[in-house]
């Protein structure tokens, strides 16, 4: 099966690894590369035979809309579009594309392991056949599908990003050092990562995208992005992928 993946690091790398491990013919693009390839006509042959497109952009609603529109205009009319419903709802994403009935939302958080769980969310426009196809595809990648209600963040990203945002607030207020905040949460609650390190792993731009989507959806102050989170993203300190976020990482 030919699968197109377009979005941002680290999401595209980890989902791409799952697809290649299960022997799918997989093409991976970063957002800016994909849009440039579409404009120049380089990607048309790759897209022509695609059966599934996985959209993994969680940072900017405007860029996500542009990406989904480019995908839907270039893919075969019957290709399934799986959209990351972290920063926007699946329903909103489907409203941006041609043939919205083929769009199904999903939610994954790095690190993504085989034998894990994927959240699925039907857009209001999703067809029954698209939903069945989405479930079958994720099972084939070794992920257990769980259907949840549509909305930014779904379940895990909503909870985890709120923890990261609160931890950023603690750091900004000087309550504790980053290492101590993470140690308290990792050892005290048995989380797989401290919240600040987890944010760096996900990408702080993605965390900000989720929080901004939640705040736009609900207007509740508990979802207001931390000023420190906004500043780090504005400075290009996005976490592991840029070498600096809440922590500094050695060059690989």
Contacts of 164 (CB under 8 A, 6+ apart): 195, 196, 198, 199, 202, 207, 229
Mean pLDDT of 219-237: 98
- Percent of the chain clearing pLDDT 90 (strictly above): 88
CA pair distance 170, 216, nearest whole angstrom:
23
- Contact at 8 Å (CB) between 222 and 162? yes
pLDDT of amino acid 115? 81
Computed over every residue of the chain, the mean pLDDT equals: 95
pLDDT of amino acid 152? 96
Give 252's pLDDT tier (boundaries 50, 70, 90): low
C-alpha 27 chain-centroid distance: 17
CA pair distance 188, 167, nearest whole angstrom:
14
Contacts of 207 (CB under 8 A, 6+ apart): 161, 164, 165, 199, 229
Mean pLDDT of 102-120: 93
Give 38's pLDDT tier (boundaries 50, 70, 90): confident
- Percent of the chain clearing pLDDT 70 (strictly above): 100
Mean pLDDT of 155-178: 98
Give 228's pLDDT tier (boundaries 50, 70, 90): very high
pLDDT of amino acid 70? 92
CB atoms within 10 A of CB 51: 17
pLDDT of amino acid 155? 97
On the question of pLDDT at 168 being above 90, the answer is: yes
In total, the chain counts a number of residues equal to 252
pLDDT of amino acid 113? 80
Give 114's pLDDT tier (boundaries 50, 70, 90): confident
pLDDT tens by residue, 73-91: 999 999 999 999 999 999 9
Give 103's pLDDT tier (boundaries 50, 70, 90): very high
Element (H, E) at 44: helix 44-48
CA pair distance 185, 182, nearest whole angstrom:
5
DSSP 226: P
Mean pLDDT of 140-151: 97
On the question of pLDDT at 37 being above 90, the answer is: no
Burial class (CB in 10 A: 0-12, 13-18, 19+), 171: buried
Dihedral over alpha carbons 21, 26, 31, 36 (to 10 degrees): 150
251/138: higher pLDDT: 138
- Of 156, 98, 96, 94, residue with least CA distance to 122: 94
pLDDT of amino acid 43? 81
């Amino acid at each position: 099966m030919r699968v197109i993946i377009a979005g941002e690091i680290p999401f595209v790398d980890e989902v791409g690894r799952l697809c290649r491990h299960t022997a799918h013919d997989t093409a991976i693009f970063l957002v800016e590369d994909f849009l440039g390839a579409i404009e120049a006509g380089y990607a048309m042959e790759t897209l022509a035979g695609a059966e599934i497109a996985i959209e993994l952009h969680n940072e900017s609603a405007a860029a996500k809309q542009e990406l989904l529109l480019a995908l839907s205009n270039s893919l075969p009319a019957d290709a399934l579009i799986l959209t990351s419903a972290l920063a926007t709802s699946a329903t909103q994403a489907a409203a941006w594309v041609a043939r919205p009935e083929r769009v199904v939302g999903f939610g994954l958080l790095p690190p993504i392991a085989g034998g894990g769980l994927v959240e699925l969310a039907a857009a209001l426009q999703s067809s029954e056949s698209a939903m069945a196809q989405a479930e079958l595809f994720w099972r084939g990648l070794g992920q257990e599908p769980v259907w949840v209600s549509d909305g930014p963040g779904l379940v895990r990203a909503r909870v985890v990003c709120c923890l990261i945002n609160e931890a950023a607030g603690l750091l900004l207020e000087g309550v504790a050092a980053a290492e101590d905040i993470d140690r308290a949460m990792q050892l005290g609650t048995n989380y797989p990562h401290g919240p600040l390190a987890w944010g760096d792993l996900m990408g702080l731009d993605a965390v900000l995208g989720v929080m901004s989507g939640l705040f736009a959806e609900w207007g509740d102050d508990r979802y207001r992005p931390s000023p420190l989170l906004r500043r780090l993203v504005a400075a290009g300190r996005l976490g592991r992928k840029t070498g600096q976020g809440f922590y500094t990482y050695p060059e690989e």
